[in-house]
A and B are shown apart, each in its own frame.
Chain A
Amino acid sequence: MRAGKNESDQELRARLEKLQTELGKQEEERRAETGGGLPVGGSFGKALSAGFTVLSEFVAAILVGALIGWQADGWFGTKPWLLVLFLGLGVAAGFYNVFRFAAPKDARGGG
């Protein structure tokens, strides 16, 4: 009886593993189908949304950079140098955001 139970345990494990790999395969197929991007909306909606995403990411980074610089200037009394510095950094962050959004995942250099 003991041996029989062990055997069925092993069998069960083997079956589980097989199921696992099959599930993984299906998941991959599904992901390939949706392309990993936005799975809803027609191409027009997708393009509209992508364009707006790029715009808002870009503008938001510049705004946040400018706000940080402006506030820091107020704190340290260094008008207007920190604003200039952080505005530049904000623009860089904006381009960085856009790059991260637009570049394919494996081209990001681990970023």
Chain B
Amino acid sequence: MNPIEQFELQRIAPYFINGVDVSFTNSALYMLLAAFAAVLLTIGATSRRALVPGRGQALAEVLYEFVASTVRSTAGKEGMRFFPFVFTLFTFILMSNLIGLVPYTFSLSSQIVVTFAFAAFVITLVILYGLYRHGLGFLKLFVPHGVPAPVLVVLIPIEIISFLSRPVSLSVRLFANILAGHITLAVFGGFVVMLLGAGAWAALSPIPILAVVAMYALELLVNCLQAFVFAVLTCVYLNDAIHPGH
């Protein structure tokens, strides 16, 4: 009945190194499951390499084409060197979101530490690649050109704050969407139970059930969309690292 009970971490195999908790938790289990599902889809389904693809192979091919065209249209041809990274990120988030939608499972993206780790990794990659590719020229990213010098004094800190806010907004968006969605589903599910236990009011219980069904469809959309948005924004940020001069 507690709507946030579903986000609790549980130690499956408690393990401590010098008092540091490195237990195998349900979060770690679902990470493995998501990775395994992605591998199963991309390697398992395409192992036959049929000329006329079956269901699994068609799905894997659509996924590949979709991510490839996203990367190409947002980060350009040069961005394709990051395709493996973006594809991994997208499939992992998508799989963990979809697995998390199954009742009684745990949703990885509902933990801000997981999504922030992704976002921090992305932004570190952007900074490191930008510096590696352009040296200090990468810092031109923070200097909008065609602006008079006095305005730059204000604009450069704003640009830097705006850049630093990217990992925050990237991680919070994914985390908050998934968290809010799962809480809403749990709350409406709880209404059903409460109404059933309230005597004559039980007659009203189909109403929240219908709401849950409708919201479940919406959640399916939101979960896929957020995985996609995460991948697109990763591409947009990588594009900044590739072409910082504007």
Contact = CB atoms under 8 A, between A and B. Distances in A.
Interface residues of A, number: 35
A65 B173 contact: no
Interface residues of B, number: 30
Interface of B: 69-70, 73, 144-146, 154, 157-159, 161-162, 164-166, 168-169, 172-173, 176-177, 221-222, 224-226, 228-229, 232, 246
B162 A111 contact: no
Interface of A: 30-31, 34, 36, 38-42, 45, 48-49, 52-53, 56-57, 59-61, 63-65, 68, 86, 89-90, 92-94, 96-97, 100, 109-111
A110 B221 contact: no
Contacts of A30: 69
A60 B222 contact: no
A110 B177 contact: no
Nearest to B177: A52
Contact of B221 (A41, A96, A109): A41
23 contacts: A38-B225, A38-B232, A40-B228, A41-B224, A45-B221, A48-B222, A53-B169, A53-B229, A56-B169, A56-B173, A59-B169, A59-B172, A60-B168, A60-B169, A64-B165, A92-B154, A92-B158, A96-B158, A96-B159, A100-B162, A109-B144, A111-B144, A111-B246
